[in-house]
Amino acid sequence: MKVDVLLGLQWGDEGKGKVVDVLTPKYDVVARFQGGPNAGHTLEFEGQKYVLRSIPSGIFQGNKVNIVGNGVVLDPALFKAEAEALEASGHPLKERLHISKKAHLILPTHRILDAAYEAAKGDAKVGTTGKGIGPTYTDKVSRNGVRVGDILHNFEQKYAAAKARHEQILKSLNYEYDLTELEKAWLEGIEYLKQFHFVDSEHEINNLLKDGKSVLCEGAQGTMLDIDFGSYPFVTSSNTVCAGACTGLGVAPNRIGEVYGIFKAYCTRVGAGPFPSELFDETGDKIGALGHEFGAVTGRKRRCGWIDLVALKYSVMVNGVTKLIMMKSDVLDTFDTIKACVAYKVNGEEIDYFPYDITEGVEPVYAELPGWKTDMTKMQSEDEFPEEFNAYLTFLEEQLGVQIKIVSVGPDRAQTIERYTEE
């Protein structure tokens, strides 16, 4: 058996949570391979709305194994709050959720360091979520991290050493803070975590594959926020691309099967950083209002713009995408004209590839297509799609070189249409 990978192709917030929930019935296992509670996956079904931060989105489908992989960073306090809310709504977790011993723990001082570093940067700040993600991955890479498995081995000693080191850094930054409440909630989260099944996830996943089980690997954030291939330095601290599934779960590259790439029919970004197709006019405001573009974790308003096919082609390439999934098609239902960025103009020269730096001097070159001016939210099959919408899909497929297999026409699980079903 091979693992299939599902990931975002833009700057995050593409709607991965809903798609994982839709696809999960086809799989035995859902495994999260990177990121932390800075990534919010919103799911809506049966009149309820859920936001997942650390727990894989397959948790709502009973009798599935859900794995938090070694590439994830976990905040015990936030995990406890998220898990208790899910259990209170009738979704049992303890028998469904396995946590890698090699996943790194976000410490209370990591969150304070995050705020201190951002404050020190002033106008050059990255716009982090303040969840301590960056400092945790920094400790991981510098070999100073505390891992889930450490809870079972000399934990107090390892935590105290990490805390002391962080407090020394904070002292050098002259940053004032109060650790009391954060640490209290965090230690309660550690006790709560002990109720869950800690695993050597690389062994577990490979044994499941050996037994013929199907596995879906779930990414967080988006490709353009990848630490290596995103719009650096305005990126997250982990590998959000398909290769991250190998390092974040312990599966070999030759075990990768389908790669599902998710994108919105337009484009958004949260926080600071370059965004070539961003709109600063009424159209951008309208897209944001219709798409309810506010961060699931931070509540921050998302910046909105037309779809960027230069960046999207780049994402398709580095991930080896085999199937595309388009979200929020319905948000564009009322527009007379739909635009798509097909090239960049840099210093007067037109290019159709994603360059080393897009921080300044990049002007989008647009193609224009007629809008479909039709309410698509009640549609249940591709046979109902208006001609103009089909033309938009065809245009995107020609540009990207990959078929769009799934189209979302609303936030609910039921508002999901599969295409090319005759195959």
- Active-site residue list: 13, 41
Nearest of 194, 78, 58 to residue 132 by alpha carbon: 78
CA distance 305 to 277: 5
Greatest pairwise CA separation for the chain in angstroms: 65
Torsional class of 127: left (φ above 0), alpha (ψ -120 to 50), beta (otherwise): left
User: What's at 200, amino acid-wise?
Assistant: D
CA distance 300 to 13: 12
Nearest of 100, 105, 97 to residue 195 by alpha carbon: 97
CA distance 36 to 134: 10
- Cβ neighbors of 267 (< 8 A, separation 6 or more) are 10, 11, 275, 277, 304, 305, 306, 307, 308, 311
The angle at the Cα of 231, spanning 227 to 235, to the nearest 5 degrees, equals 45
CA distance 334 to 336: 7
CA distance 111 to 79: 15
3-state secondary structure of 226: coil
Q: Where are the alpha helices (DSSP H) in 291-411?
A: 309-319, 387-400
CA distance 51 to 57: 9
316 and 402 in contact (C-beta within 8 Å)?
Answer: yes
Q: Kindly report the number of other CB atoms within 10 A of residue 385's CB atom.
A: 21
Backbone angles phi, psi at 263, to 5 degrees: -145, 155
Nearest of 285, 211, 137 to residue 128 by alpha carbon: 137
